Amino acid sequence: MKIGVVLPHNEIGSDAGAMKAYAQGVEALGADHLLIYDHVLGADPGRPGGWRGVYDKDTEFHEPMTTLSYIAGITEKIELVTTVLILPQRQTALVAKQAAQIALLSDHRLRLGVGTGWNAVEYEALNVPFKARGRRQEEQVELLRKLWSSDSLSFSGEFHQVTMASINPRPGRSIPIWFGGGAPRVLERCARMGDGWMPLMGPNQAAQDAVSYLQELWTKEGKDWGDFGIQAQAQFAGATPEKWLTHYQRWQAIGATHMAIATHNAAETGVDGHLERIESYMESVS
């Protein structure tokens, strides 16, 4: 499996020097890819009805597309990955334009992981219907690929209307799109439209069942299973080198092609501490 890292979004801070040191540091360690999470807004726990979620307004999330643009300019080899961009919240043509620009200026190092999200607070603020997010995502992926490849197109869908227009510049080749999530509809969409899967679970029976289902759907489409990718994640917090290795081997047996180590929420640290954790993990699974 290819080994990557998860940007410690809520601990890296907003200092450009720290971001640069981290990105260049993980590349120097030999990390293959860098994942960045996505949330536009955090809810205030004091809002009417309260708020109980895995994050709130005090949790920092760096905007993926602009952050990856910066990292593209200060690195040379590492793959840049959104995990996952909450696509239905965004304007499709703008995402196509931003992704194309990152791909071009990074020598095609962008991998676009997309999801539908779960936080209705964000959808409300971004003026996008929450209930239609799955259908919107499917249409978006179709349109993204057309915008990346067409000099001029017309497109008429449930959510989009394009009349003889397109983006320019366009990427030299199609940008890989991987789907996040585990619902049956998501897996079906992933096998039909995606290049890979980003599970939100551990290497358990549910993951094995999902991979088997994806493989069945993928091969029915007449595609080579060897072309499909699976992006797993590991947590530094609460684990030991032995547990990391076992976790890694279990995902490898299931069929994962990529593994990224998340080093945040383990203990207070700076950039050097995160790099030390990544190095420890790499040594444990190498």
The 3-class secondary structure across the chain, one letter per residue, is: CEEEEECCCCCCCCCHHHHHHHHHHHHHCCCCEEEECCCCCCCCCCCCCCCCCCCCCCCCCCCHHHHHHHHHHHCCCCEEEEEEEEHHHCCHHHHHHHHHHHHHHCCCCEEEEEECCCCHHHHHHCCCCCCCHHHHHHHHHHHHHHHHHCCCEEEECCCCEEEEECCCCCCCCCCCEEEECCCHHHHHHHHHHCCEEECCCCCCHHHHHHHHHHHHHHHHCCCCHHHCEEEEEEECCCCCHHHHHHHHHHHHHHCCCEEEEECCCCCCCCHHHHHHHHHHHHHHHC
Question: What is the percent of the chain where pLDDT is above 90?
Answer: 98
* pLDDT tier at 5, thresholds 50, 70, 90: very high
Q: Rounded to an integer, what distance in angstroms lies between the CA atom of residue 245 and that of residue 72?
A: 30
Residues 43-74: tens digit of each pLDDT:
999 999 999 989 999 999 999 999 999 999 99
* pLDDT tier at 250, thresholds 50, 70, 90: very high
Across residues 19-36, what is the average pLDDT? Answer: 98
Q: Which domains does the chain have, with CATH numbers?
A: 2-285 (3.20.20.30)
pLDDT at res. 160: 98
pLDDT at res. 209: 97
* pLDDT tier at 25, thresholds 50, 70, 90: very high
Q: Rounded to an integer, what distance in angstroms lies between the CA atom of residue 92 and that of residue 191?
A: 21
* pLDDT tier at 161, thresholds 50, 70, 90: very high
The tokens for 216 are: 């069945």
Residues 80-133: tens digit of each pLDDT:
999 999 999 999 999 999 999 999 999 999 999 999 999 999 999 999 999 999
pLDDT at res. 29: 98
pLDDT at res. 116: 97
Average pLDDT, the chain: 97
Give the range among 51-55, 56-60, 137-141, 225-229 with minimum mean pLDDT: 51-55
